Structure 1
Amino acid sequence: MAEPGKHEKYEALIYACHALAPVRTVVAHPCDDSSLTGAIEAAEAKIIKPILVGPEARIRALAASLHLELSGIELVDQPYSHASAEKAVQLVRAGEADALMKGSLHTDELMAEVVRKDAGIRTERRISHVFIMDVPTYPKPLFITDAAVNIFPTLEDKIDIVQNAIELAHALRIELPKVAILSAIETISSKIPSTIDAAALCKMADRGQITGGVLDGPLALDNAISRDAAAIKHIKSPVAGDADILLVPDLEAGNMLAKELTFLANAVAAGIVLGARVPIILTSRADSVQTRMASCAVAALYAHARRMAAARIGKLVE
């Protein structure tokens, strides 16, 4: 587990929200200690302005037992978790919120409503997950994608996964994020499909099919995050040894990497889902208070960045 005070990168993310208005956030079914506490604490820190969707009597009783103050917080009564997920997505579709936060319901239950063709909040972009990791041994936040949604992404899927992560990095004020496309080796081999995907993605970036970042790959993990390892293998690259974003070959690799960093390198991992109309905050019961706050902060910064971009586009159209 992480030691208190060891994760200044998360503290910086939370601090960056202080100058922004709280983001309207629908919280779907916050019916356990951790999900309700996380939402209220993020509200008290003025990161989000929550709308709690779920069984009202149960939420109020839970809040009383935890000594949490609900005055001034909107509650939308729904009888059970599936109804809560459906209503939460409806509120987003109606423009009532700029972010969606998972409560104590199962992730699949919430995401099923998100991706519904008739009433969901999908866009033309592939939905993907990004871990924003605070690793004490790495000098900056490290993004890992996708370790939670896309199991075996195709090359076309990876285009959107990379673009989602790049746009998140922009929202977190990283002007030109460096994207390392990971594989087991740093050379291209037809025997390892992820190296072929890496080469294709890099060429796509050269041709403008992926924008806003610097891509390189295939890179092994050591070459992506260690300048010394890259130098030993004579890799000359603006990305090698200094990556902001790690694009993993598949969910299994990403999940293992994130958990290895958490349990062996004392890292903590905030998480967010992108590609829908609004950012989606997926939290776990095992998340620390700081991790939950960081996830909310990331969603808030992303939502504000999207709103500003939309406003700029609107002015150009006028």
Structure 2
Amino acid sequence: MTLHTNIPWSELEIGMEAESSHVCRADDFYVFANSSGNMNPMHLPKEDGDGDGKPEALAPSMWMGALISGVLGNFLPGPGTLYKSQQLSFLGRAHAGDTITAKVRLTAKGDGGLATFETWVEAADGTRIADGTAEVVAPSRKIAVDLRDVPGLTVQTHPHLDHILTLAEPMEPMPTAVIAPEDDASLGGALLAYEHTLLRPILVGCAKKIAAAAEQIGADISGLQVVDVPDHSAAAAAAVQMVHDGQAKALMKGKLHTDVLLRHVIKREGGLRTHRRLSHVFVMDVPGVDHLLMVTDAAINISPTLEEKVDIVQNAINLAHALGIEQPKVGILSAVETVNPKIPSTIDAAVLSKMADRGQIHGGLVDGPLAMDNAIDLEAARTKGISSAVAGHAEVLVVPNLESGNMLAKELTFVAHAQTGGIVLGAACPIILTSRADDEQARLASCAIAVMMREWKRGQ
């Protein structure tokens, strides 16, 4: 039970002190901006508020003042306290990532339950960055309050994919054949990746349509190579050949059907097949989840066999390594967490787990069958009595078939507000397979993921 108790006015003694430390988080600043309406870019972690070329991410001064209110309302005098006045002078600044401490000291008691406090906020080195005086009406009787029912907040930020982008941007831009970038979305995504130094796009498609798309979005593509191939199938074939010739190190889908592109990728003669089955991985940054969540396969393999699932799992593990996850935890999903011969996916899951134990799948911890709840929620796993290094901590979710995977990925995107990127693996090069529904950030994330995969392969 989370109980907050108070100190009523009659028990207050001059000189009493209380404090609370807080790490300034970017999410705090976004919550304050939304609740107060103060959208000053000086306080928004991704914005450059003063035009110097970098974000300031300064803690809002009144937010720091609110931390003092938290000490008064939670600890001294505590629940039941009401403000009468607060005087503050701001002497310094705090930034996202800083630890600051709000402190109060009782200096006087007056009639009617009045209590006067010296109030201040300190930086980690003890320097005062805010200083002032508060007058409050202290509670008249002792109470204890259970605050378990106070709703929590989930901020729709995506720090994990932001981190991937930060890691990928300094790397060498990847020459990428962008196939049929003939509309504003597909061309704009490639150009955005070019601006972020992720890709060096080679635009393969109908030159007239590409030029029209560039004009529509006001982009200058005069510095980019354009290969005029009006037919989509021929453009895909030309892009695949560019990989063979060493001109391109990746492919990116534009405004053409996925099957048209993949038909040329999987050709036995002249394609980009390897010994590994092609599979797609969605890399998802879900608000409220403290790590990346990868979903596979939700885009290519409709109803994969056990043999094909081995490649799907291994492809995902390799991508997790490329993204900096040393030993990814892989949950093989089904409707239940026990083996049931009437549910074939549970048998596949059990076999995949044992294959990982025997080294036939390597580089990750694999467990299944797991239901979605006990794969990602530790309490759900404990409730079911599941003791596993993966249960409750899964970073890779392997779905039984394309239908379930596609629904899961779209639910996370459109209901849970996940930011998503994804690529096709198992070919001779990464394939950036974007959707018409993807926004610019999703396309940018997919490009960053492809760059990270390219760099990882270089080191193998």
Q: Tell me the alpha carbon deviations over residues 260-310 of structure 1, each in whole angstroms, 9 at most, x when there is no partner.
A: 11222111221210000001001112111111100000001001111221x
Counterpart of 1:118 in structure 2 is 269
Q: Secondary structure at the match of 2:298?
A: coil
Counterpart of 1:171 in structure 2 is 322
Q: Secondary structure at the match of 1:19?
A: coil
2:255 to 104, 122, 131: 104
* Identity in percent: 56
- After TM superposition, the structure 1 stretch with the greater mean CA deviation from structure 2, 229-238 or 55-64, is 55-64
Tell me if 1:134 matches 2:279. no
Q: Distance in 2 between matches of 1:159 and 1:86?
A: 29
Counterpart of 2:427 in structure 1 is 276
Q: Tell me the alpha carbon deviations over residues 163-194 of structure 1, each in whole angstroms, 9 at most, x when there is no partner.
A: 00000000001000000001111111111111
Q: Tell me the alpha carbon deviations over residues 23-53 of structure 1, each in whole angstroms, 9 at most, x when there is no partner.
A: 1111001001100000011001001111110
- After TM superposition, the structure 1 stretch with the greater mean CA deviation from structure 2, 26-35 or 62-71, is 62-71
- Measured after TM superposition, the shift of residue 17 of structure 1 is 0.9
1:64 to 188, 203, 215: 215
- Measured after TM superposition, the shift of residue 137 of structure 1 is 2.2
Q: Distance in 2 between matches of 1:237 and 1:289?
A: 38
Q: Contact 1:151/1:250 (CA < 8 Å) preserved in 2?
A: yes
Counterpart of 1:302 in structure 2 is 453
Counterpart of 1:12 in structure 2 is 163
- Measured after TM superposition, the shift of residue 72 of structure 1 is 2.3
Q: Contact 1:10/1:290 (CA < 8 Å) preserved in 2?
A: no
**1:237-252 residue pairs with structure 2 within 5 A?**
237-252=388-403
Tell me if 1:221 matches 2:379. no
Counterpart of 2:444 in structure 1 is 293
- Measured after TM superposition, the shift of residue 65 of structure 1 is 2.7
Question: So what's the TM-score if we normalise by structure 1?
Answer: 0.94
- Measured after TM superposition, the shift of residue 5 of structure 1 is 6.3
- Measured after TM superposition, the shift of residue 18 of structure 1 is 2.2
Q: Secondary structure at the match of 2:204?
A: strand
User: Which consecutive segments of 4 or more residues in structure 1 shift more than 3 A?
Assistant: none
Structure (1/2) with the larger helix percentage: 1
Q: Secondary structure at the match of 2:406?
A: helix
Unaligned runs of 5+ in 1: 310-318
Q: Distance in 1 between matches of 2:438 and 2:246?
A: 29
- Measured after TM superposition, the shift of residue 19 of structure 1 is 2.3
Q: Contact 2:165/2:448 (CA < 8 Å) preserved in 1?
A: yes
Q: Distance in 1 between matches of 2:210 and 2:349?
A: 47
Q: Contact 1:137/1:265 (CA < 8 Å) preserved in 2?
A: no
Q: Distance in 1 between matches of 2:162 and 2:212?
A: 32
Q: Tell me the alpha carbon deviations over residues 82-126 of structure 1, each in whole angstroms, 9 at most, x when there is no partner.
A: 111110111112221111000101111101111111121011100
Q: Distance in 2 between matches of 1:96 and 1:173?
A: 28
Q: Contact 2:323/2:449 (CA < 8 Å) preserved in 1?
A: yes
- After TM superposition, the structure 1 stretch with the greater mean CA deviation from structure 2, 288-297 or 260-269, is 260-269
Q: Contact 2:170/2:197 (CA < 8 Å) preserved in 1?
A: no
Tell me if 1:29 matches 2:180. yes
Q: Distance in 1 between matches of 2:346 and 2:213?
A: 50
Q: Secondary structure at the match of 2:459?
A: helix
Q: Secondary structure at the match of 1:119?
A: coil
Q: Secondary structure at the match of 2:412?
A: helix
Say which structure, 1 or 2, has more relative contact order (CA 8 Å, 6+ apart).
1
Q: Contact 1:115/1:121 (CA < 8 Å) preserved in 2?
A: yes
Higher Cα Rg: structure 1 or 2?
A: 2
Counterpart of 1:201 in structure 2 is 352
Q: Contact 2:181/2:210 (CA < 8 Å) preserved in 1?
A: yes
Match of 2:208, as an amino acid?
A
Q: Contact 2:156/2:287 (CA < 8 Å) preserved in 1?
A: no
Match of 2:456, as an amino acid?
A
Q: Distance in 2 between matches of 1:70 and 1:38?
A: 13
Q: Tell me the alpha carbon deviations over residues 216-261 of structure 1, each in whole angstroms, 9 at most, x when there is no partner.
A: 1110000000001011111111101111100001111101111111
Question: So what's the TM-score if we normalise by structure 2?
Answer: 0.65
Q: Distance in 1 between matches of 2:397 and 2:346?
A: 14
Q: Distance in 2 between matches of 1:83 and 1:74?
A: 17
Q: Tell me the alpha carbon deviations over residues 55-82 of structure 1, each in whole angstroms, 9 at most, x when there is no partner.
A: 2232123212311121321111112211
Q: Secondary structure at the match of 1:255?
A: helix
Structure (1/2) with the larger strand percentage: 2
Kindly report the root-mean-square deviation, in angstroms, between the aligned alpha carbons of the 2 structures: 1.3
Q: Distance in 1 between matches of 2:344 and 2:157?
A: 38
Q: Contact 2:184/2:216 (CA < 8 Å) preserved in 1?
A: no
Q: Distance in 2 between matches of 1:32 and 1:71?
A: 17
